[in-house]
Amino acid sequence: MRGSQAPRHAARSAGLGLAAALAVTATGCGVAVGDDSVDLDYWLWDANQLLPYQQCVDAFEEENPDVRVRISQYGFDDYWMKLTAGFVAGTAPDVFTDHLSRYPEYVQRDLLLDLDSLDATAAVDADEFQEGLADLWVGQDGGWYGMPKDFDTVAVFYNETMLSEAGLTPEDLQDLDWNPQDGGSFEEVVARLTVDSQGHRGDEEEFDPDDVVTYGLASQGSGGTSGQTMWSWTAGSTGWRFTDTDVWGQEYNFDDPRLHESLDWLFGFVDKGYLASYEEVGGDANAQQQLGSGQAAMTTDGSWMINSYTRLDGVDVGIAGLPSGPTGHPVSMYNGLADSISADTDHPQEAARLVAFLGSETCQNIVGDAAVVLPARPASTDRAVEAFAERGIDVSPFTDLVEEQHTMFYPVTDQFGAIDALMTPAMDEIYIGGRDAETLADLNERVNAMLE
């Protein structure tokens, strides 16, 4: 069947004109209906954002009476599966929320439209967004493939009660530092927050690291290739970066001793009793669960988790900044989602109008006011900061990092799926204790070979 060769075009040339037309109608995928209006499909995965984005779409439809938008939401794993099938069969949505780890694969295969080539989106200036966010979505060919919608960074979430029980105050969590040699003041705090079954703390003589009740630091698993919320901030603040260039690196730096030292230090917490072992939490460790159950006192996690932590029953969670590293300041991974337009769409101009609107101040303010994530436009970010503040949550630890540019990008390269399949088991092995971090140097050669 032609389908196996060029599936997306099979139906169009298959001589099944009627059937194909029916199919397109059935999916409602950007087909003009009786009146002159145009239907667009928009997909996203985070159910928490469904409400604000529905409001955005309502506002958009008001401004654009000739366009109707249908939002669909699918869970993260289902989302990518259905999207892939959609690309194969030509039933992909016109506009969808995109992720940095996925879009290079799509760009490489000409599945996305260049936003610069469409009127409505070309009119948007990349500088209107938080610094550097739009650059993440510029492909190697110079095309622009995603309109930034939000950003995320990493900070420390801690249990306020446990902190005061340890004789510490929120001020003690300001300006902490760490280094791979003695762990710095951050390690002292982690040790202080760790409690064994006899009530001895991690910094006391009698402490038994094999009988811990509350770990100072919650585990996020090994963190895999990107270590986004688990270890990226450690290596990042030694000056290490994933790749040779900020975006579209040609070489990974998994052979860098600074990375190895950082991993050794962090995962060394397991033996010291400050961090749960792999056996206890597994590869898909849920830090929210550990904080919620009192198994851990503190964790590093992303800004999209703010509501998940602050809504925990019976646990008062505070937020503090990441500790500074050997470079003298903290470094957080800086990542963001964007909206992309499928090359399959029958209505690129209308889709572009939608995307431009989703990235506009009007929509971003709606998202900001909903206080779920941090929107991509600085003014809207401020609205979100205020909205969070009204609920008593200070999110400045997340936003300060961006203002001070203490960030590094999520690794955007080709072949991320294959690299991840190789790196994740290795990272797990390091966490378990069965592998030396130094051996990542061997893997780095294989990873870089994939990029050639």
Partner 1 sequence: MSAVENPAPARPRLGRPRTAGRRDDTRLALMFILPAAIGLVVFYFWPLVRGIWLSFTSWDILTPARFVGLANYQEMIGDPVFWNAVRVTLIYVVINIGVQTVVALLLAVLMQRLSRSILLRSLVLTPFLVSNVVAALVFLWILDFQLGIGNQFLDSLGVGRVGFFTTEAWVIPTIALVNVWRHMGYTALLLFAGLQAIPSNLYEAARVDGASELRQFFTITVPLLRPILGLVLIISVIGSFQVFDTVAVTTNGGPVDSSRVLQLYIYDNAFGQFNFGYAAALSVALLVILLVVTVLQYRVTRAGQTDLN
Partner 2 sequence: MTSAATALDPTEARPASPPPAPRRRPPPPGRILAWALMVILLIITLFPFFWMLRTALSSNSALYANTISLMPADANLGGFQRVFGLQETEQAIAEGGSGASIDFWRYLINTVLMATGITLCQVFFSAMAAYAFSRLHWRGRDFVFGLFLISLMVPVIFTLLPNFLLVRELGLIDTLLGIMLPSMFMTPFAIFFLRQFFMNVPLEVEEAAMIDGAGRIRVFFTLIIPMTAGPVATVSILTYITAWNDYLWPLMVSYTDDSRVLTVALGNFTEQSPQTGPDWAGLMAATLVAALPMLLLFLAFARRIVSSIGFSGIK
Residue numbers at the binding site for partner 2 (CB under 8 A): 1, 3-4, 7, 10-11, 14, 16, 18-23, 25-28, 45-48, 50-51, 70, 72-78, 81-82, 85, 88-91, 220, 229, 286-289, 292-294, 301-302, 304-305, 308, 311-315
Task: Spell out, one character per residue from 105 to 144, where the chain touches partner 1: x when CB under 8 A holds, - when not.
Answer: xx--x-x---------------------------------
Are residues 160 and 316 in contact, defined by beta-carbon separation less than 8 angstroms? yes
User: Among partner 2, partner 1, none, what binds residue 389 when CB lies within 5 to 8 Å by partner kind?
Assistant: none
417 binds partner 1 (CB under 8 A): yes
* Cα(195)–Cα(209) distance, integer angstroms: 9
Q: Residue from 4, 127, 181, 328 that binds partner 1 (CB under 8 A)?
A: 4
Nearer to partner 1 by Cβ, of 8 and 192: the residue is 8
- Do 431 and 278 form a contact (C-beta atoms < 8 A)? yes
The yes or no reply on residue 36 touching partner 1 (CB under 8 A) is no
Determine, following the binding rule CB under 8 A, whether residue 434 of this chain makes contact with partner 1.
Answer: yes
E runs forming strands in 74-203: 95-98, 147-148, 150-151, 154-159, 195-196
Alpha carbons within 13 angstroms on the beta-carbon side of residue 35 total 6
In the complex, the smallest distance separating the C-beta of residue 44 from partner 2, rounded to whole angstroms, is: 10
Give bridge partners of residue 398 from the DSSP assignment.
none
φ/ψ (deg, to 5) at 72:
-125, 145
Give the nearer residue to partner 2 in terms of CB position, either 20 or 432.
20
Q: How far apart are the first and last CA of the chain?
A: 33
Greatest Cα pair distance in the chain: 80
Cα distances from 287 to residues 37, 202, 293, 329, 353, in angstroms, run 47, 20, 10, 25, 39
Residue from 80, 143, 165, 349 touching partner 1 (CB under 8 A): that is 80
By C-alpha distance, which of 229, 235, 334, 336 is closest to 285? 229
**Which of 16, 391, 421, 446 lies at the binding interface for partner 1 (CB under 8 A)?**
421
- Among residues 280 and 346, whose Cβ is nearest to partner 1? 280
Per the listing, tokens 């604000």 go with 52
Q: Residue 35 binds what, of partner 2, partner 1, none (CB under 5 to 8 Å, by partner type)?
A: none
- H-helix or E-strand spanning residue 83: helix 76-89
Residue 307 Cβ vs partner 2, minimum distance, rounded to whole Å: 8
Name the nearest CA neighbour of 367 among 381, 353, 351, 354: 381
Least Å distance, CB 168 to partner 1, is 24
Q: Is 238 exposed, middle or buried (0-12, 13-18, 19+ CB in 10 A)?
A: buried
∠ Cα 276 223 85 (to 5°): 135
Task: Indicate which of partner 1, partner 2, none lies near residue 209 (CB less than 5 to 8 Å, by partner kind).
Answer: none
Question: At closest approach, how far in Å is the CB of 120 from partner 2?
Answer: 25
Residue 421 site contact among partner 1, partner 2, none (CB < 5 to 8 Å, cut-off depends on kind): partner 1
Q: Which is nearer to partner 2, 118 or 217 (CB)?
A: 217
Q: Return the residue of 273, 299, 428, 440 that touches partner 1, per CB under 8 A.
A: 428
Angle at 76 between CA 74 and CA 81, to 5 degrees: 80
Query: Which residue among 278, 309, 398, 410 contacts partner 1 (CB under 8 A)?
Result: 278
Q: What does DSSP assign to residue 138?
A: B
Shortest gap between Cβ of 218 and partner 1 (angstroms)?
12
- For partner 2, give the closer residue by CB, 37 or 48: 48
Nearer to partner 2, 185 or 286 (CB): 286
CA 395 – CA 403 distance, rounded (Å): 13
313 contacts partner 1 (rule: CB under 8 A) = no
Q: Tell me which residues touch partner 1 (CB under 8 A).
A: 1, 4-6, 8, 80-81, 84, 87-88, 105-106, 109, 111, 276, 278-284, 289, 293, 295, 415, 417-418, 420-421, 425, 428-429, 432, 434
